[in-house]
């Protein structure tokens, strides 16, 4: 019943509603009431809730990165043939490096230059190894890694040949 009375009142005084505006005092009371409602609705979280949420976020990111890093593919995962080649070349390279080391005392300057070349190739190999997990075509990177090892072996063989030639020349000229 109250609603019908209100409707009749509004219909009877419709023109007054369209013409008259509420006073500034009415607007300020409405504004103050709205401000009080906003204050009531805001939830004050304790500081520890924010700290806990931040810690959870950081732990989640760390776990995601750890899981991603743990799944870095190895050479054997991509190609067993290339993994065997890598192992064979790596052992040959280490054996030949040991042979070069023997000549280091006789020709330190020559050995230093040879070692710099091998270090550069080794750095290239390590860069390829780091690139492997992110590469969209991992087989190409693996082939490049094996080619690098082949090149290292060729360089060492050439270096050993040069050292042998130098030593032979020195022996021939001593007589």
Neighbours of 159 (CB within 10 A): 22
The pLDDT of residue 159 is 81
- Helix segments in 105-137, DSSP class H: 108-131
* Of 39 and 150, more confident: 150
* Sign, CA torsion 105/107/113/115: negative
User: How do residues 21-41 score in pLDDT, each as one tens digit?
Assistant: 767 787 788 888 877 766 655
Per domain, the residue ranges of the chain are 2-41, 44-72, 74-174
Burial class (CB in 10 A: 0-12, 13-18, 19+), 170: exposed
- pLDDT for res 14: 75
Confidence (pLDDT) at 171: 80
pLDDT score recorded for residue 133: 80
162: left (phi over 0), alpha (psi -120 to 50) or beta: alpha
Residue in the block written with tokens 């005084």: 13
Of residues 43 and 27, more confidently modeled: 27
- φ/ψ of 43, rounded to 5, equals -100, 125
What's the confidence (pLDDT) of residue 44?
Answer: 66
22 phi/psi in degrees, rounded to 5? -65, 155
For residue 64 the two structure tokens come to 């995601």
55-101 pLDDT per residue, tens: 888 888 888 776 655 555 666 666 677 778 777 877 778 887 777 77
Angstrom distance (rounded) from CA 159 to CA 111: 9
More confident residue, 42 or 174: 174
Give the pLDDT band (50/70/90) at residue 106. confident
Tokens for 154?
A: 């060729």
**pTM, to two decimals:** 0.50
């Amino acid at each position: 019943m109250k609603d019908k009375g209100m409707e009749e009142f509004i219909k009877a005084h419709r023109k007054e509603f369209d013409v008259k505006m509420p006073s500034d005092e009415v607007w300020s009371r409405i504004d103050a009431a709205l401000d009080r409602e906003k204050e009531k609705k805001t939830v004050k979280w304790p500081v520890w809730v924010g700290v806990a949420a931040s810690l959870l976020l950081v732990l989640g990111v760390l776990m995601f990165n750890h899981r991603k890093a743990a799944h870095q593919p190895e050479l054997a995962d991509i190609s067993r043939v290339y993994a065997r080649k890598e192992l064979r070349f790596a052992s040959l390279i280490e054996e030949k490096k040991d042979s070069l080391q023997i000549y280091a005392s006789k020709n330190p300057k020559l050995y230093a230059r040879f070692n710099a070349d091998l270090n550069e190739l080794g750095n290239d190999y390590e860069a390829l190894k780091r690139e492997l997990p992110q590469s969209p075509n991992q087989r190409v990177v693996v082939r490049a890694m094996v080619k690098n090892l082949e090149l290292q072996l060729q360089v060492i063989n050439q270096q050993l040949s040069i050292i042998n030639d130098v030593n032979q020349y020195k022996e021939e000229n001593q007589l």
